[in-house]
Amino acid sequence: MRVYFFFLIIPLLFVSVGCNMNSIPSLKLTCKVGEKEVKFETNINTNSLNGDDGTSTMFYQDNLFEIVFINFDESGKPTRIINYYPTDPGIEIIENGISTTCMCEHNY
């Protein structure tokens, strides 16, 4: 019984301690958005994902399966959403109800 407990608790401890899901992840991506290339990078000081095209989207949540950045308008409605899936080589940008999927490369 103690052996099962050990093999169950230890992996959960590593996941909960090793994955700080309350802080913004460090991302540097080069993405093909339409015909142009846009570089995205997280900024810890502003808690946002900034693109070299002038866009900035605030960090919202990281839940092991996706990292979400969202901008809201004054009424609380989302105006821009960026979904980044760590296991997928791209991002999804949803702006004004239109979804665009972009292929990205990591820049370490």
Render 46-65 in DSSP notation, one character per residue. TTEEEETTS-EEEEEEE-SS
Does pTM surpass 0.85? no
> What percent of the chain is predicted at pLDDT more than 70?
80
CA distance 42 to 60: 12
- Return the structure tokens found at 86: 């760590």
Average pLDDT over the chain, rounded to an integer: 83
Reported as a single tens digit per residue, the pLDDT across 19-47 is: 445 588 999 999 998 889 999 999 999 99
CB 84 within 8 A of CB 91: yes
**What local confidence, expressed as pLDDT, does residue 10 receive?**
46
Q: How many residues does the chain have?
A: 108
Reported as a single tens digit per residue, the pLDDT across 95-105 is: 989 999 999 99
User: Phi and psi dihedrals of 87, rounded to 5?
Assistant: -90, 0
pLDDT band at 5 (very low <50, low <70, confident <90, very high): very low
